[in-house]
């Protein structure tokens, strides 16, 4: 039931994501690594370090291209694929993007471990027309935590 809810919420959000062609597109594929402080999630043994694969959808709701902007990020990811595991996680971060490429956000995270709070920070490196995000996140759940690094790319709209 939990997995069905996560998948349905992902599809609904991705299908309704707003896009403004006058702004840089920060949505795109993500790949990274995550460190788990716990080695069991719902009686499933996991490694402390695992891969991350997913997609980020970003919506700006205030500001402009060369101004401070309010943002909402929706980030569904899957961890542990290299170990034969499928550990889905979904984060919704509300934050701010600065004109120099830095961004900060916080919000809820839902995973097989339960719900938690996630804090994220990153920088968007621009190479010609290609945007390369470098993002760090920290999630806390009860006495456990996760730290992740992810990157990817975004193309102009």
108-134 as b/e: b if 16+ CB within 10 A? ebbbbbeebebbbebebeeeeeebebe
Q: Give me the domain span that covers residue 19.
A: 2-152
The answer to whether position 157 is within a domain reads no
Q: Is residue 6 part of a domain?
A: yes
**Residue 29 is assigned to a structural domain of this protein:** yes
* Residue 27 covered by a domain: yes
Note whether residue 80 is domain-resident. Answer: yes
Token pair listed for 156: 């102009």
Per-residue pLDDT of the chain (157 residues; tens, 9 = 90+): 455 444 444 444 444 444 443 456 788 999 999 998 876 766 777 778 999 999 999 988 877 667 899 999 999 999 989 888 898 999 999 999 998 989 999 999 998 878 999 999 999 988 888 889 999 999 988 888 899 999 999 876 6
- Domain membership of residue 52 (yes or no) is yes
Q: Is residue 113 part of a domain?
A: yes
- Of 63, 67, 58, give the one whose Cα is nearest residue 94: 58
As for how many domains the chain has, the answer is 1
pLDDT of 42: 66
Residue 42 belongs to a domain with what CATH number? 2.40.160
Asked if residue 146 belongs to a domain, the reply is: yes
Burial bucket for residue 101 (CB in 10 Å: 0-12, 13-18, 19+): middle
């Amino acid at each position: 039931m939990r997995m069905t809810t996560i998948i349905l919420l992902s599809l609904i959000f991705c299908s309704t994501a707003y896009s403004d062609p006058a702004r840089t597109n920060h949505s795109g594929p993500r790949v990274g690594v995550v460190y788990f402080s716990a080695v069991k999630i719902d009686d499933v043994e996991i490694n402390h370090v695992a891969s991350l694969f997913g997609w980020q959808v970003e919506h700006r709701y205030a500001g402009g291209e060369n101004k401070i902007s309010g943002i909402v990020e929706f980030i569904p990811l899957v961890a542990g694929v290299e170990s034969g595991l499928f550990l889905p996680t979904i984060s919704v971060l509300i934050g701010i993007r600065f004109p120099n490429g830095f961004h900060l956000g916080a919000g809820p995270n839902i995973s097989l471990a339960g719900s938690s709070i996630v804090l994220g920070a990153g920088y968007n490196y621009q190479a010609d027309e290609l945007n390369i995000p470098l993002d760090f996140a920290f999630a806390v759940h009860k006495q456990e935590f996760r730290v992740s690094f992810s990157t990817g790319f975004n193309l102009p709209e």
